[in-house]
Structure 1
Amino acid sequence: MKYVDIFKKSLADELKKRGHVPVKIRANYKNPKYEVFIFENTAEFNKSMGELNRVFAR
Protein backbone atom coordinates (compact mmCIF):
# COMPACT_ATOMS: atom_id res chain seq x y z
CA MET A 1 0.00 0.00 0.00
CA LYS A 2 1.35 3.42 -0.95
CA TYR A 3 0.70 6.69 0.80
CA VAL A 4 0.81 10.37 -0.12
CA ASP A 5 1.89 13.15 2.24
CA ILE A 6 -0.14 16.35 1.95
CA PHE A 7 1.49 19.40 3.52
CA LYS A 8 -1.14 22.01 2.61
CA LYS A 9 -4.03 22.08 5.10
CA SER A 10 -6.50 23.62 2.64
CA LEU A 11 -5.83 20.80 0.15
CA ALA A 12 -6.25 18.19 2.89
CA ASP A 13 -9.55 19.82 3.91
CA GLU A 14 -10.84 19.64 0.32
CA LEU A 15 -9.84 15.98 0.12
CA LYS A 16 -11.71 15.31 3.36
CA LYS A 17 -14.82 17.02 1.92
CA ARG A 18 -14.61 14.59 -1.00
CA GLY A 19 -14.67 11.63 1.38
CA HIS A 20 -10.98 10.81 1.69
CA VAL A 21 -9.95 10.10 5.27
CA PRO A 22 -6.32 10.65 6.30
CA VAL A 23 -4.68 7.44 7.47
CA LYS A 24 -2.50 9.42 9.85
CA ILE A 25 -1.77 13.01 10.83
CA ARG A 26 1.70 13.81 12.12
CA ALA A 27 3.82 16.84 12.89
CA ASN A 28 5.99 18.19 10.10
CA TYR A 29 9.55 17.23 11.04
CA LYS A 30 11.01 20.46 9.63
CA ASN A 31 8.49 22.70 11.36
CA PRO A 32 6.59 20.90 14.17
CA LYS A 33 3.92 23.58 14.47
CA TYR A 34 2.52 22.38 11.11
CA GLU A 35 0.85 19.04 10.39
CA VAL A 36 1.29 16.56 7.55
CA PHE A 37 -1.79 14.66 6.41
CA ILE A 38 -1.13 11.15 5.10
CA PHE A 39 -3.64 9.66 2.65
CA GLU A 40 -3.76 6.25 0.99
CA ASN A 41 -2.89 6.50 -2.71
CA THR A 42 -5.89 5.03 -4.57
CA ALA A 43 -7.38 5.59 -8.02
CA GLU A 44 -10.19 7.67 -6.47
CA PHE A 45 -7.64 9.75 -4.54
CA ASN A 46 -5.64 10.37 -7.73
CA LYS A 47 -8.80 11.49 -9.54
CA SER A 48 -9.61 13.96 -6.76
CA MET A 49 -6.02 15.23 -6.69
CA GLY A 50 -6.11 15.83 -10.46
CA GLU A 51 -9.30 17.87 -10.13
CA LEU A 52 -8.02 19.82 -7.14
CA ASN A 53 -4.63 20.54 -8.70
CA ARG A 54 -6.40 22.36 -11.51
CA VAL A 55 -8.35 24.41 -8.95
CA PHE A 56 -5.36 25.20 -6.71
CA ALA A 57 -3.07 26.02 -9.66
CA ARG A 58 -5.12 29.11 -10.55
Structure 2
Amino acid sequence: MDLTKAAWRKASRSTVQNDNCVEVAGAPYIVAFRDSKDPNGPKLIISNSDFRNLANVLKNI
Protein backbone atom coordinates (compact mmCIF):
# COMPACT_ATOMS: atom_id res chain seq x y z
CA MET A 1 0.00 0.00 0.00
CA ASP A 2 1.37 3.42 -0.96
CA LEU A 3 1.41 5.71 2.08
CA THR A 4 3.84 8.32 0.70
CA LYS A 5 1.14 11.01 0.70
CA ALA A 6 -0.41 10.02 4.03
CA ALA A 7 -0.79 12.74 6.67
CA TRP A 8 0.95 11.25 9.72
CA ARG A 9 0.08 12.58 13.20
CA LYS A 10 1.86 12.22 16.52
CA ALA A 11 0.13 12.06 19.86
CA SER A 12 -0.72 15.44 21.34
CA ARG A 13 1.54 14.66 24.32
CA SER A 14 4.61 14.22 22.11
CA THR A 15 7.35 16.81 22.43
CA VAL A 16 10.52 17.59 20.53
CA GLN A 17 12.55 16.04 23.37
CA ASN A 18 10.36 12.92 23.54
CA ASP A 19 10.42 11.37 20.09
CA ASN A 20 9.47 7.89 21.34
CA CYS A 21 5.98 7.73 19.97
CA VAL A 22 3.73 6.11 17.45
CA GLU A 23 2.37 8.07 14.51
CA VAL A 24 -0.96 7.33 12.91
CA ALA A 25 -2.41 8.10 9.48
CA GLY A 26 -5.88 7.50 8.15
CA ALA A 27 -6.65 6.58 4.56
CA PRO A 28 -9.76 5.24 2.88
CA TYR A 29 -10.72 2.00 4.62
CA ILE A 30 -7.50 1.69 6.71
CA VAL A 31 -5.55 3.13 9.62
CA ALA A 32 -1.74 2.91 9.53
CA PHE A 33 0.76 3.12 12.38
CA ARG A 34 4.52 3.68 12.34
CA ASP A 35 7.41 4.39 14.71
CA SER A 36 8.19 8.12 14.71
CA LYS A 37 11.92 7.36 14.98
CA ASP A 38 11.81 5.24 11.80
CA PRO A 39 9.34 6.86 9.37
CA ASN A 40 10.65 4.79 6.46
CA GLY A 41 10.44 1.55 8.41
CA PRO A 42 7.60 -0.95 8.62
CA LYS A 43 4.00 0.11 9.06
CA LEU A 44 1.13 -1.68 10.75
CA ILE A 45 -2.03 -1.37 8.66
CA ILE A 46 -5.47 -2.37 9.94
CA SER A 47 -9.00 -1.82 8.70
CA ASN A 48 -11.11 1.03 10.03
CA SER A 49 -13.46 -1.45 11.70
CA ASP A 50 -10.56 -3.26 13.40
CA PHE A 51 -9.25 0.12 14.60
CA ARG A 52 -12.66 0.97 16.10
CA ASN A 53 -12.73 -2.41 17.86
CA LEU A 54 -9.18 -1.88 19.18
CA ALA A 55 -10.04 1.61 20.44
CA ASN A 56 -13.13 0.28 22.24
CA VAL A 57 -11.12 -2.46 23.92
CA LEU A 58 -8.42 -0.02 25.03
CA LYS A 59 -11.01 2.41 26.43
CA ASN A 60 -12.34 -0.36 28.66
CA ILE A 61 -9.02 -1.48 30.15
Q: Same fold (TM over 0.5)?
A: no
Q: Which has the higher helix share?
A: 1
Question: Which protein is bigger by CA-based radius of gyration?
Answer: 2
Which TM class, normalised by the smaller chain length?
A: 0.3 to 0.5
Higher relative contact order (CA 8 A, sep 6+): 1
Give the TM-score normalised by structure 1: 0.37
